[in-house]
């Protein structure tokens, strides 16, 4: 059921024990929104903690409280007054939803593709990041931004907007970011941390880019990472930023081996609706940034995604 921000604030206010979670393969917005809200709720005297069912990429070690994020333990159940699922629909949280017994479940998201399966959903697809929603939520709850909260929320807004360059960046995004800078967020430290890669990661990514393939008369650029190369390309952070600068591209994407006959696709566009393409494969996202998982052998998966993109672009 869709609810208003005031109703979401009331549900949170009524709860004492709160578990926060987000999607697997966590990014800046998923970690920033859960951790930022956790810090705020703790300052309100609540028992709040973050559970994420995946490894936390080490670039996020600059975020205060990052070491307090726990993974659900198999066979171990948790209870809470409230489970808050941020930046994703319930089904993409790994084992968290099934291992938490919560009186209520609140979903806070900015993805237009959200399946609306949650008991309570506050959805704002006009916002660039879930962290931007959490900014407003804290304001509605009458709270102030501590440096810890602001650092986490700033990071999520920065990563979901390509450091305030993508078209999802609005005046509200910039005002919220300004609120965070005002309490002392060190934005250049965050920018440096988010871009950091090991030497090996840079080299592996350079090799991946060298194997870029062009389609649709240059309107599509793609990198395909098979099982063998997936072992070297341990991070895909920044890979699509390198492809999108290629002149004439409308859609850029990578397809990376995840498990046998399982490939992860991540797409970016300059206007074409890639979330519609992702939804064909049961994925989702935003018009200009979306992803999905394709269950097929390498060649079939490659053909399937290229066909779907070709239909979207009429090429
Ligand atoms: P990325 O390409 O960075 O993994 O994701 C781009 C956007 O699409 C993000 O907002 C992300 O949450 C969303 N997204 C990526 N993969 C999936 C997926 O498998 N399902 C859904 N619903 N959304 C996805
Ligand atoms: Mn997000």
72-90 pLDDT, tens digit per residue, is: 998 899 999 999 999 999 9
CB-based contacts of 73, cutoff 8 Å, min separation 6: 99
CB-based contacts of 8, cutoff 8 Å, min separation 6: 106, 108, 120, 122, 137
Q: What is the pLDDT of residue 217?
A: 97
How would residue 68 be classed by pLDDT, with cut points 50, 70 and 90? very high
* DSSP letter, residue 225: E
Any atom of ligand 1 within 6 Å of the Cβ of 291: yes
Residue range 195-203: mean pLDDT, rounded? 93
Q: What is the pLDDT of residue 97?
A: 94
Residue ranges near ligand 2 (ion) with Cβ within 5 Å = 29, 87, 129-130, 160
Distance 89 CA to ligand 2 centre (A): 11
Query: 3-class DSSP state for residue 200?
Result: helix
- Cα–Cα distance, 295 to 311 (Å, whole number): 20
Cβ neighbours of 149 (radius 10 Å): 30
- Cα–Cα distance, 123 to 126 (Å, whole number): 9
Any atom of ligand 1 within 6 Å of the Cβ of 293: yes
Q: What is the pLDDT of residue 251?
A: 98
Q: Answer yes or no: are the C-beta atoms of 53 and 72 closer than 8 Å.
A: yes
**What confidence tens digit (pLDDT) does each residue in 203-257 have?**
999 999 999 999 999 999 999 999 999 998 888 988 999 999 999 999 999 999 9
Any atom of ligand 1 within 6 Å of the Cβ of 285: yes
Distance 285 CA to ligand 1 centre (A): 5
- Cα–Cα distance, 242 to 237 (Å, whole number): 10
Domains of the chain: 5-195 (3.90.1640.10), 199-313 (3.10.310.30)
Q: What is the pLDDT of residue 3?
A: 98
- Cα–Cα distance, 209 to 216 (Å, whole number): 18
Q: Which residues of 251-279 are buried (b: 16+ CB within 10 A; e: fewer)?
A: bbbbbbbbeeeebbbbbbbeebebbbbbb
Any atom of ligand 1 within 6 Å of the Cβ of 156: no
Beta bridge mates, 264: 256, 293
Any atom of ligand 1 within 6 Å of the Cβ of 284: yes
Place of tokens 């800046």: 28
- Cα–Cα distance, 39 to 152 (Å, whole number): 9
Q: What is the pLDDT of residue 235?
A: 87
Q: Whose CA is nearest to atom 13 of ligand 1?
A: 285
How would residue 21 be classed by pLDDT, with cut points 50, 70 and 90? very high
**What confidence tens digit (pLDDT) does each residue in 120-169 have?**
999 999 999 999 999 999 999 999 999 999 999 999 999 999 999 999 99
């Amino acid at each position: 059921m869709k609810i208003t921000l005031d109703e979401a604030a009331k549900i949170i206010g009524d709860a004492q024990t709160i578990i926060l979670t987000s999607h697997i393969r966590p990014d800046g917005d998923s970690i920033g929104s859960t951790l930022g809200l956790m810090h705020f709720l703790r300052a309100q005297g609540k028992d709040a903690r973050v559970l994420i069912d995946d490894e936390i990429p080490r670039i996020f070690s600059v975020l205060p409280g990052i070491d307090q994020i726990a993974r659900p333990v198999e066979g171990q159940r948790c209870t809470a007054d409230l489970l808050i699922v941020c930046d994703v629909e319930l089904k993409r949280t790994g084992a968290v939803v099934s291992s938490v017994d919560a009186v209520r479940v609140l979903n806070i998201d900015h993805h237009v593709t959200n399946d609306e399966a949650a008991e309570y959903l506050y959805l704002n697809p006009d916002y660039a990041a879930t962290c931007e929603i959490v900014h407003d939520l804290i304001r509605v709850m009458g709270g102030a931004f501590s440096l810890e909260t602001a650092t986490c929320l700033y990071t999520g807004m920065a990563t979901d907007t390509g450091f305030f360059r993508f078209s999802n960046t609005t005046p509200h995004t910039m005002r919220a970011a300004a609120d965070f800078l005002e309490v002392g967020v060190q934005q250049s430290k965050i920018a440096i941390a988010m871009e950091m890669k090991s030497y090996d990661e840079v080299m592996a990514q350079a090799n991946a880019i060298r194997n870029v393939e062009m389609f649709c008369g240059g309107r599509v650029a793609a990198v395909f990472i098979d099982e063998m190369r997936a072992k070297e390309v341990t991070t895909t952070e920044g890979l699509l930023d390198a492809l999108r600068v290629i002149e004439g591209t409308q859609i850029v994407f990578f397809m990376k081996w995840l498990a046998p006959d399982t490939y992860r696709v991540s797409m970016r566009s300059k206007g074409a609706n890639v979330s519609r393409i992702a939804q064909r494969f049961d994925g989702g996202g935003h018009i200009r940034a979306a992803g999905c998982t394709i269950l097929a052998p390498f060649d079939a998966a490659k053909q399937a995604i290229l066909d779907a993109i070709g239909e979207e672009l009429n090429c």
